[in-house]
Amino acid sequence: MSIVLDGKEIAAAVRREVAAEVEKFKAKRGRVPGLHVILAGEDPASSVYVRNKEKAALEAGIAGRVHRLPASVSEAELVALIKELNADPAVDGILVQLPLPKGIREQVVLDLVDPAKDVDGFHPVNAGLLASGRPGLVPCTPLGCMRLIDEASKRLGGFELAGARAVVVGRSNIVGKPVAQLLLARHATVTIAHSRTRDLPAVCREADVLVVAVGKAQMIDDRHVREGAVVIDVGINRIDVDGKSKLVGDVHYEKAATRAGAITPVPGGVGPMTIAFLLQNTLRAAEARGV
């Protein structure tokens, strides 16, 4: 029987760790870290995500503000706001919630965020720092994946990530590439695969650690999982089951769990970790800025 990696439980521990460090930061600096989130438009899912981020930040003792802008906001207005936040010494972290309204170029907007305040870790400067093994802000979801892998290691008797075979299915700039870089930094032997990889099941079965972020519902099943492997499912997809909507991952949980040593569920696996590491990134950005 697989060990279920409860992301809610592990994320709660990370958030407690961040809250304790925020108190130390406050005692040393006389202020708390500041996180500002930009929400443009009225996308229902984005509104829920932003409320959850705002609530988590306040619970951790981080000063947060959400800039709620109408869908009619212009790119010029958004650019002006980002420049204002870049210059504000009370702002340590800036997060632009995606998607943005039609007519606004997302990459132009994201690239304007000060890399030192880019708590999403998406800026090309931070991507380059990660790729070259230098300190910088790293995307939150890959950081959450690494914490889940470490928790799996503890619960499986402390397997060594150094020298282990890791396969990452998915090559996005948000998850696939950065999580591969983080695994390389921990001395794993890493293969990046994707939906067009030939004989994908055979490639995946080589993995001691299998991270899946490909965006295709239940694409990975027991045929892809080596006995005892750690399976981290980053995907979240909505499918119809007997006329009812259901959230599932990129991994067919029930099938993969018959072979995995440890596995994340969907929902309740990687998702909660992303917000927890957003808070940690905000704290790290505040510490690095020295203000």
Angle at 36 between CA 272 and CA 138, to 5 degrees: 55
Per-residue tokens: 205: 């079965």
**Contact present, 210 and 240 (Cβ < 8 Å):** no
**Contact present, 38 and 96 (Cβ < 8 Å):** yes
Which residue is associated with the tokens 């596995």?
263
Residues carrying an active site annotation: 53, 97, 120
